[in-house]
Amino acid sequence: MTQAQTQSRHRIIIVGGGAGGLELAVKLGDKLGKPGQAEITLVDRGRTHVWKPLLHQVAAGTLDSHADEIEYLALGRRHHFRFRQGEFTGLDRAAKEIRLAPVRSLEGEVLLPESTLPYDTLVFALGSQTNDFGTPGAREHSIMLDSPTAALHFHRKLIDASIRAQAGAQGFGQGRFTVAIIGGGATGVELAAELHMTARIMASFGLENVHPERDLKITIVDAAPRILPLLPERVSSAVSLELRKLDIDLHTNEKVVEVSAEGVKMGSGKFIPSGLTVWAAGIKAPDFLREIDGLETNRINQLVVDRTLRSTRDPAIYAMGDCAACPMDDSGKTMVPPRAQAAHQQALLLAKTIPRALAGKPGLPFRYHDHGSLVSLGEYSTVGSLMGRIASGGVFIEGLFAKWMYWSLYKKHQVAINGMFRTWLATWVEAIDRMRNPRIKLH
């Protein structure tokens, strides 16, 4: 293809390689990139993709992120889209281009200088980050599980604490090393259960001083009256019961007012000593999106879009996933919840809408379908996984069936990206790795 032909193709840029952005790049690459109807470019600051709902497993060490990560460059080659590494830093709507920060090596060497990329259609799929609500000390003294890097950082600190405990050193919390998890949503709950299982396995490997019933204390703090406040109360009650069986402390109706190196202070005056603190309460879109180049945003920095996912102030710009404020219906009173299934459904819609726009046809309205809420409590056979609403009336499930449902969500994501055959092969590789490697990552 000549340079003139390349320049004449419609340029579609997707900023963000999370679940929704990557699925959209794959579908548009196959639909428009392969026949040469458009040039699709995926932009992300990292080189690989890890499914965000699995980050709590990476943090606990029950999942090796390197084994489950997907290479953007390799996927782009298979699905006819380009990958450009770089961190998004700015937007020029008049010139129709985005700015990217320099890409540096681990040693600080500039690999790619600061640059701009022109677009004809721009899609923001940046996801979300943890919202600390301006709480003093939260950024300095707690870990936000926003990325694989943060999850690996938490895991390293957990292993270091375990090694210190094995040598006889005691952490905070009356001789028990305490992990405080701020936020009783799905991430906080799943991390707590996964950490309990990790500690039990570590003790079996010879780290006897990190046994969950004796040496490790896990605490969840949430400002809501109950954990999992967005899920049905029956699910919340059942999960609370199982967590208490694991000796995991639950502090609800407690607002955190300060985080320090010593622990967590709450508005009631209660103080929880903590050797390791995780902040998993609340989300917001990245701060740099706030009113970026005149686009409409809300109080948590989400780009406001109409029901076709198109920006309210620029027809060439779309937003999807956690960084988009999309109305559920024409009234605009309720917004689509920031959940992985919403991002997946929006990717499917944009894969139809953008080709329609290139053909001069109107966009399709987004209709969110709630397929349920799954909460994984690790490998504990008494609970397995719990599901909230999978039908209009709400159906409660637990045990092995719920566990299979949770596992199938990840496989559905893999199929959307890699196809059925590659996912089938990867599943067999995962099974072999589980037999060959330790059950948790010990380094």
Q: pTM (2 decimals)? A: 0.83
Q: Which residue in the block uniquely carries the two structure tokens 């699709």?
A: 40
Do 193 and 380 form a contact (C-beta atoms < 8 A)? yes
Q: Which pLDDT does position 269 carry in this prediction? A: 92
DSSP 158-207: HHHHHHHHHTT---TTTTSEEEEEE--SHHHHHHHHHHHHHHHHHHHTT-
CATH 1.10.10.10 fits 3-128+285-358, yes or no: no
Q: How far apart are CA 170 and CA 175, in angstroms?
A: 6
Reading the block at residue 1, the tokens are 């293809």
Q: One fold for both 3-128+285-358 and 138-283+374-436? A: yes
Topology of the domain covering 138-283+374-436: FAD/NAD(P)-binding domain (3.50.50)
Backbone angles phi, psi at 384, to 5 degrees: 65, -105
Q: Which pLDDT does position 190 carry in this prediction? A: 87
Q: How far apart are CA 158 and CA 443, in angstroms?
A: 10
Compute mean pLDDT per 10 residues along the chain, 443 residues long, and list them: 60 94 95 96 90 79 68 92 95 97 86 94 94 92 87 83 63 64 90 82 57 72 90 82 88 94 93 91 89 93 96 97 93 87 93 96 91 67 38 46 60 75 72 56 48
Backbone angles phi, psi at 212, to 5 degrees: -65, -30
Domain borders along the chain are 3-128+285-358, 138-283+374-436
Quick one: DSSP state of residue 16? Answer: -
Q: Which pLDDT does position 339 carry in this prediction? A: 84
Residue from 439, 423, 441, 437 nearest 70 by CA: 423
Length reported for the chain: 443
Q: Which residue in the block uniquely carries the two structure tokens 């953007």?
A: 72
